[in-house]
Chains A and B, each alone.
Chain A
């Protein structure tokens, strides 16, 4: 669109530490900016965070737009939305990408609504390409392809936003690969305006409590994951036992989490964590595309399912058609015997 230029990545930070997802998105943003022959800007909001600019430039940003203000110290939706929208109206980026974190999913929609622009959530890929609007007989070049699995399993949708710019997208952590930082990279740091009145403040944080995550799925090399087929919270013990035997982390499909078998920290998939372990064992998981989006790049995949037609077998390297209540105890016993030698 005329007058719009540049790729923005929201550099999410908390307590002075940059979130991984922002750095991952800078790598992707670098690719997009190079393809469009334009500038990549990291957008950084916070209190006393100017020093983080160096890392953002090392990860690919040509420019860091900084809003450093006491009122931006702890994320709240009102001030962050106002500052970002003011900057977007002034600078007119063509593309603006946010991590699909709890902050990103609170902030990006409000920004998109304020700017009346299009936003696609949970993209698994971003590309640049052309678009033919047959209805209006119009051609568009160099649009952002916002690619994501869509409801319906086995469907990948490519979404474009020809006229409602900036073209906005959110991407979950772990989906894009973080590049290697280059401390020799040069870039500029620009202060952006922070104009906030009482109404913009909107919400106030009364108290906050951090709870350590009970499991580190991202770092796990072996994951044993349970799905709806496990049947109950009690029966999830089988999954835990196998994981314990193999020195693996415990994962779960969304169906298992929604069914109350295990908490959300263990969820693997498009709306959970994206993982790339050496070995992923899917037990009683049907393999809906949203789950596959979170584990399909695992080194080796073993699927155990009593339904021979389950889609998980399409991506499994090893398929076991059987009852997990029988197969898992067998595997545990065999492995234990082996280890005893």
Chain B
């Protein structure tokens, strides 16, 4: 039978691990100090897709929109057994809100062609909106099931999935094609397979090659590299990669028939008016010694003022 799955993934800064080290003197976060990772719940979505295909047959295509270095997500997916990866990268896609992003992803899914299931994580750890999944489903005109932690049944043109919805569960059924957003408790994502890692670790998307060549030539010359030299370098590298089947697919707005006024900043109804660095300083913090005397005094105070019983 087989089910063709598209997995939508995002590369995000590792916000789950903000320690004192990542904080700057002025109390703000040093983004450059945070590594970029595969959004955790998208990895759960990939895992669910790989499980489905292992059981029923079919294909898994990883789709991501981001800067060139998001090509790493394609490799990570290929290391785990995905069949194909596509990187949507272009300045015109950038700075999009969820509406523009979901429009872009929907155009790409349509360009991929047929699919039975679209899977993505419930939400990304940087935006936390959980909007892209449902909005992409709406743009594709397909049903959505959010907060999925288990696929219960798949076949006869339908999917039944269990949703974990706060105060309990519900099992919901819809016709295929259908979009599922997957929660972190759904499964334990598999690690990369050594053989696949060896095979794909040098695979690169054209934009990644361009960035690499630009950096190398610029540092050699001690100034920004000449555009022609970069192009020549890039062409040569890509040709070498192509011979080994290691060029990752990369698409621009033209490749997915995307209307330019609906992508990126232009296609985003929401705008950030301003950002405030809030260093919250209420009343002075009373520092307490972690000794019996210090803690005893604190507890006495709290009991005396009836904060504690």
Contact = CB atoms under 8 A, between A and B. Distances in A.
Contact of A322 (B125, B139, B144, B290): B290
Given A118-B99, A118-B269, A208 B166 contact: no
A331 B299 contact: yes
A62 B145 CA distance: 34
Contact of A296 (B20, B172, B280, B309): B280
A157 interface: yes
Contact of B278 (A81, A154, A160): A154
A151 B127 contact: yes
19 contacts: A102-B163, A110-B144, A117-B269, A119-B131, A133-B271, A151-B13, A153-B28, A155-B277, A161-B269, A164-B270, A205-B170, A206-B173, A300-B302, A302-B288, A302-B298, A307-B19, A309-B23, A321-B290, A323-B290
B270 A119 contact: yes
Interface centre among A157, A206, A247 (most CB of B within 10 A): A206
Interface stretch (A29-37, A64-72, A312-320): A312-320
A153 B17 CA distance: 12
B307 A338 contact: no
Contacts of A290: 128
B171 A109 contact: no
A74 to B, nearest CB: 9
Interface centre among A77, A155, A156, A160 (most CB of B within 10 A): A77
Contacts of A203: 143-145, 172-174
Nearest to B106: A113
B263 to A, nearest CB: 13
Interface in A199-253: 202-213, 222, 246-247
Contacts of A202: 143, 174
Contacts of B98: 109, 119
A152 B160 contact: no
A173 B264 CA distance: 31
A102 B166 contact: yes
Nearest to A307: B20
A106 B128 contact: no
Interface of A: 76-78, 81, 101-102, 105-106, 108-110, 112-114, 116-122, 131, 133, 145-146, 150-164, 202-213, 222, 246-247, 254-255, 258, 270-271, 278-279, 286, 288-290, 292, 296, 299-300, 302-304, 307, 309-311, 313-323, 326-327, 330-331, 334-335, 338
B279 interface: yes
Contacts of A288: 15, 18
A210 B276 CA distance: 41
Nearest to B283: A317
A164 B99 CA distance: 10
B145 A270 contact: no
Interface centre among B137, B166, B273 (most CB of A within 10 A): B273
B267 to A, nearest CB: 9
B102 to A, nearest CB: 6
Contacts of A122: 128-129
A121 B270 CA distance: 11
Contact of B144 (A77, A152, A309, A319): A77
A299 B307 CA distance: 8
Given A102-B166, A205-B172, A318-B298, A158 B274 contact: yes
A319 B29 contact: no
Given A113-B135, A288-B18, A334-B299, A311 B285 contact: no
Contact of B170 (A108, A209, A314, A322): A209
A326 B295 CA distance: 11
A71 to B, nearest CB: 15
Interface string B157-190: 0001001011111111110000000001000000
A280 B28 CA distance: 24
Interface centre among B269, B280, B289, B309 (most CB of A within 10 A): B269
Contacts of B307: 278-279, 299-300
Given A158-B276, A203-B174, A338-B299, 19 more contacts: A102-B165, A102-B166, A110-B144, A113-B102, A122-B128, A153-B23, A154-B27, A155-B275, A159-B273, A206-B172, A207-B170, A207-B171, A211-B167, A286-B18, A288-B18, A296-B280, A318-B287, A320-B290, A338-B303
A320 to B, nearest CB: 5
B308 A222 contact: yes
A317 B285 contact: yes
B195 interface: no
A153 B160 CA distance: 39
Given A206-B171, A309-B23, A292 B280 contact: yes
Contacts of B172: 76, 203-206
Contact of B269 (A109, A163, A213, A313): A163
A284 to B, nearest CB: 12
B308 A279 contact: yes
B126 interface: yes
5 smallest beta-carbon distances between A and B, as pairs: A164-B269, A322-B290, A118-B269, A113-B138, A109-B134
Contacts of B144: 77, 106, 110, 203
A162 B169 CA distance: 38
Contacts of B288: 302, 318-320
B258 interface: no
B160 A316 contact: no
Contacts of B277: 154-155
